[in-house]
Structure 1
């Protein structure tokens, strides 16, 4: 499944989640506004002797507070939906087939300028595909420039390429973190059209 298909599917699922979250937030916001109006009406009846201007100010404040609460709830629902979208993307990426995963890693490692050093994987990947990956990268580079590190890293997937003091962190979490800021606005726009 291509990254675009995964992204499209994630956006679709996140959009459904976001719509439900927003409907819930709007419903709760409407309840808050209705409650605020009821409280304002009680204040009006209790304080009938006060001037109409003062009553309108109190009612306006209660309604404004309810609307502010509603906006906060909608914003929280949107932020939660965006977070879930990125979490879902990480989950989808980390469950690709072994062959596609190795091909992806070989391609990404081979793109690194002066590609050499030790490849650090998570414990599961090291055991499962470590040797295959190193062999495939070296074949792709036509020279033995990378080795499998004895060290591991705690990550869902991806790799770190270490050459002395220099590390290239291409773990899935780091990739999503680096694109998250740029994509958050775009994802939010897609989810909340």
Structure 2
């Protein structure tokens, strides 16, 4: 699936502006949380000192630890939300790419997923109505022919309920090449790269 890796890598690179905005928001939120807890800790410390309580330092330390833990939890949540946003944007950008590129991309997926060359290819309703489905199958059959595989892929009468991509089906066997599925399969690798770009990890 080198094609999807290249596309998702390029999309991740194109979303650098979004990444920078999320990073700035995360850093500001962390500073705000830590500052809030440090002020609480300092206020509590001063109150305890004024009362002559010896455990003021211990209470302050507890509050500081709580602040750090809260900040870490907030950062983790923000990281996950940022990764989810970038992956959602990746799906949308792949589905909205220029028609010729989209057709070439899907044709390559179909030809790579085909085993016998006689499979049917399931598309979403949009791609069937627009004529994209027929163009993809025609191009995929050309690719199969070049590889010496019987070029008899057909457009399925069935429509899928996915944003973009295809499902290649032969009897009960399906190869899911929906865009959402391909991006999700790359989630761990992409999440690490996106988090690294967002948070300098």
The TM-score with structure 1 as length reference comes to 0.87
Q: Which runs of structure 1 show a deviation greater than 6 angstroms over 4 or more consecutive aligned residues? A: none
**2:191 is the alignment partner of 1:189:** no
Instruction: Output the CA distance in 2 between the equivalents of 1:33 and 1:5.
Output: 40
1:7 to 9, 12, 18: 12
2:127 to 125, 128, 138: 125
**Alignment match, 2:3:** none
**Alignment match, 1:172:** 179
Structure 2 unmatched runs, 5+: 1-5
Q: 2:121 aligns to what SS in structure 1?
A: strand
Pairwise CA RMSD: 2.0
Measured against aligned partners, the alpha-carbon deviations of 1:84-125 in whole angstroms (never above 9, x if no partner) come to 111111111111111111111111111123333111111101
**2:157 is the alignment partner of 1:150:** yes
Q: 2:96 aligns to what SS in structure 1?
A: coil
Change in CA separation of 1:60 and 1:89 when aligned onto 2, cut-off 3 Å:
same
Measured against aligned partners, the alpha-carbon deviations of 1:125-184 in whole angstroms (never above 9, x if no partner) come to 111112222222223323442111111111111000110010000000000110111221
Instruction: Output the CA distance in 2 between the equivalents of 1:124 and 1:118.
Output: 17
**Alignment match, 1:114:** 116
Change in CA separation of 1:177 and 1:115 when aligned onto 2, cut-off 3 Å:
farther
Instruction: Output the CA distance in 1 between the equivalents of 2:27 and 2:93.
Output: 27
Instruction: Output the CA distance in 2 between the equivalents of 1:93 and 1:59.
Output: 51
**2:138 is the alignment partner of 1:135:** yes
CA contact (8 A) 2:117 2:151 kept: no
Instruction: Output the CA distance in 2 between the equivalents of 1:178 and 1:115.
Output: 25
1:12-23 aligned at under 5 Å gives the runs: 12-23=16-27
Structure 1 unmatched runs, 5+: none
Instruction: Output the CA distance in 2 between the equivalents of 1:190 and 1:93.
Output: 21
Instruction: Output the CA distance in 1 between the equivalents of 2:73 and 2:133.
Output: 47
Q: 1:93 aligns to what SS in structure 2?
A: helix
**2:102 is the alignment partner of 1:101:** yes
**Alignment match, 2:31:** 27
CA contact (8 A) 1:78 1:188 kept: yes
**How far has the Cα of 1:45 moved from its partner?**
4.8
Instruction: Output the CA distance in 2 between the equivalents of 1:120 and 1:111.
Output: 15
**How far has the Cα of 1:56 moved from its partner?**
1.5
